[in-house]
Amino acid sequence: MALKRANCAIELMRCLKRLRDPQSELLLLRSCMGVAKLLFGLRTCQPSLVGGAVSVFDEGLRGALEDIVVCGGAFFGDLQWRLASLPTRFGGLGICTAEDASSYAFVASRAQSWGLQDHILRECGGDVLDSDYRSALDLLHSSLPDLDIGGFYIKDTAPPKSQKILANALYGEIVKRFEEKFVLSPRQRAMFECLRAPHAQDFLSVAPIEGLGQHMSAVEYRAILRYRLMIPLFPVDEPCPVCRKACLDSFGEHAIHCKELPGFKYRHDWVRDVLCDVLKRAGISAKKEAPVNFLTDPLEGRSTLRPTDILVFGWEGGKHACVDLTGVSPLVGLKDKGFVVGQAVLKAEASKVAKHEKACLENQHVFVPFAFDTFGGLAPDAVRLLNRVQKVVNSNSSSLKVSNFVFSRIGFSIQKGVAAQLVARLPAIAL
Ligand SMILES: [Zn+2]
């Protein structure tokens, strides 16, 4: 029966490509089609009984994901598959495989529902801790030797949030042993860290709404997915068609670092516009490109009108805030050793503060740097700003459901800017 279910799910996943929109396809695959279709079976059957269905299902799932990312093209290897099938908070695309889920779903489900089982089976007597459960638990212990699962063997001590605990332990172990399985270059290692940084994967959860700038074309979205899954994008050694000063590398690193103004400025301005829109929709008064007369370079020493990216009225203690956006690529000048994730945005934030904060304070304004990196990582002041905006939104909205959509929108706008840089340099045949 599990096999039949797996085959039905694969049939459904095959229909996905008819949408011709990788952004919606990925969203549907993650939330409605993937392992969700099999979860009931995985939770209620011993892992050893569903093995056949699991491998059939995962093969279909991998095929569907390959179609979304490379559209039948090459370079979707085991590394890409492993990376994509991690949860988003571990740097993946959140496409959970049946194999991973089956390793803990049965145990977690049993452990979480003891009360219910006791109630249903109260007339039957007998041992609820049967051999099925024990053997599944032993199997789990062998794959997660570091996790103390002693509590699971006794009914009264099984933790109430078993599924969360076990999933976290499983994926933590996979990440820890990642480099035992795959040989990573320094660039790939650094990228993997960037992808796991807080907020890096926020963009994956937006609903595709054109009017809010929350949609990417198929070419754009695929370029982003391929870049983040470390799949080659460009033929090597072609000169960059935009700046003509450097050569493109196959993974698109130059495309993203390239400081040629149109693309670089587009990215900055796009994020600024979306941030301004987010503020306005939250009911916060803000004006973009607002001229102020004190944001001059101290070295120039004279006072001229210069626009601040966004002026937020009465933001802190009645003072207006000058928000200054800056985007950085964390992998610029990457060395073999000493890469620290999040350092690039911290440095950018500090240098902006050093440059503008004093002038703002002297003129009765507060200065808010907004530093982001090309993976979606945010500096602390940017996180603080968005957290406060999210709170304002939540307090204004009547629905109790709290989500982080402010972060998702900003994350998506950053990726859309990056996508534009990549797409502008793609060879014509790839379009
Ligand atoms: Zn260039």
Question: How many A from CA of 417 to the centre of ligand 1?
Answer: 15
- pLDDT tier at 296 (50, 70, 90 boundaries)? low
Reported as a single tens digit per residue, the pLDDT across 54-63 is 999 999 999 9
| Distance between Cα 420 and ligand 1 center (Å) | 13
Pick from 119, 153, 182: which residue ends a domain?
182
Q: How far is the CA of 241 from the centre of ligand 1 (A)?
A: 7
So what's the pLDDT on residue 411?
97
Which two structure tokens, joined as six digits, stand for 328?
């950085």
pLDDT at residue number 295: 63
Give the model's pLDDT for residue 267: 93
Backbone angles phi, psi at 276, to 5 degrees: -65, -40
Distance 253 CA to ligand 1 centre (A): 10
Asked if residue 242 is part of any domain, the answer here is: no
Looking at the structure, do residues 178 and 259 belong to the same domain, yes or no? Answer: no
Residue 431: pLDDT band with limits 50, 70, 90? low
Query: What is the rounded distance in angstroms from the CA atom of residue 211 to the CA atom of residue 189?
Result: 36
Does the residue 243 lie in any domain?
no
How many Å lie between the centroid of ligand 1 and the Cα of residue 240?
5
Residue 190 CA to ligand 1 centre (angstroms): 22
Residue 164 sits in the same domain as residue 275: no
176 and 258 co-located in one domain: no
- Residue 300 pLDDT exceeds 80: no
Select from 182, 212, 230 the last residue of a domain: 182
Question: Distance, CA 250 to ligand 1 centroid (Å)?
Answer: 13
- Is the pLDDT higher at 48 or at 342? 342
- The packing angle between helices 51-70 and 218-228, to 10°, is 120
Q: Final residue of a domain: which of 182, 203, 228?
A: 182
Contact call for residues 220 and 426 (beta carbons, < 8 A): no
| Residue 221 is assigned to a structural domain of this protein | no
- Whether residue 166 is found in the same domain as residue 271: no
> Among 86-95, 115-124, 380-389, 415-424, which is the least confidently predicted range?
115-124
Ligand 1 midpoint to CA 345 (Å): 22
| Confidence tier at 218 by pLDDT (50, 70, 90) | very high
Look at residue 129 in the predicted model and tell me its pLDDT.
63
| Domain-embedded: residue 413 | yes
Q: How many domains does the chain have?
A: 2
How many Cβ atoms are within 10 Å of 286's Cβ, its own excluded? 20
Same domain, 165 and 312: no
Residue 244 resides in a domain: no
165 alpha carbon – ligand 1 mean position (Å): 46
Task: Assign 343 to helix, strand or coil.
Answer: helix
115 Cα to the center of ligand 1, angstroms: 62
Q: Which domain holds residue 69?
A: 2-182
Residue 200 falls within a domain, yes or no? no
- How many Å lie between the centroid of ligand 1 and the Cα of residue 309? 25
Cα(74) to centroid(ligand 1), Å: 26
Instruction: Identify the pLDDT of residue 128.
Output: 56
31 alpha carbon to ligand 1 midpoint, in Å? 38
Same domain (yes/no): 285, 177: no
CA-to-CA distance for 222 and 216, rounded, in angstroms?
A: 9
Q: Which of 242, 224, 241 is nearest to 233 (CA)?
A: 224
CA 344 – ligand 1 centroid, Å = 20
pLDDT at 121: 78
Residue 68 C-alpha to ligand 1 middle, in angstroms?
A: 28
Q: How far is ligand 1, taken at its centre, from the CA of residue 224, in Å?
A: 18
Q: Measured in angstroms, how far is the CA atom of residue 255 from the centroid of ligand 1?
A: 6
pLDDT at 430 exceeding the cut of 60: no
Regarding whether 402 and 260 lie in a shared domain, the answer is: yes
259 CA from centroid of ligand 1 (Å): 7
- Residue 209 maps to a domain: no
**What is the whole-number distance in angstroms between the Cα of residue 340 and the centre of ligand 1?**
25
Cα 331 to averaged position of ligand 1 atoms, centre (Å): 15
Average pLDDT score, the chain: 88
pLDDT for 244: 86
The model's confidence at residue 302, banded by pLDDT at 50, 70 and 90, is low
How many angstroms separate the alpha carbon of residue 236 from the centre of ligand 1? 13
In a domain, 7, yes or no: yes
Tell me, in angstroms, the distance from the centre of ligand 1 to residue 375's CA.
Answer: 19
Environment of ion ligand 1 (residues, CB < 5 A) = 240, 243, 258
b/e per residue 39-69 (b: at least 16 CB within 10 A): bebbbebbbeebeebbebbbebbbebbbbbb
Q: What pLDDT is recorded for position 298? A: 55
What is the pLDDT at residue 400?
58
Task: For residue range 375-418, list pLDDT tens digits in order.
Answer: 999 999 999 999 999 999 888 877 656 578 899 999 999 999 99
- Write out pLDDT tens, residues 336-382: 778 899 999 999 999 999 988 988 898 899 999 999 999 999 999 99
The better pLDDT of the pair 135, 199 is held by 199
| CA 351 to ligand 1 centroid distance, Å | 25
Q: Which of 327, 315, 409 is nearest to 368 (CA)?
A: 315
CA of 376 to the centre of ligand 1 (A): 21
- pLDDT tens for residues 124-174? 766 656 788 888 888 888 888 888 888 888 877 878 888 899 999 999 999
**In this structure, are 276 and 167 located in the same domain?**
no
Give me ligand 1 centre to Cα 239, in Å: 8
Give the pLDDT band of residue 74 (cuts 50, 70, 90). confident
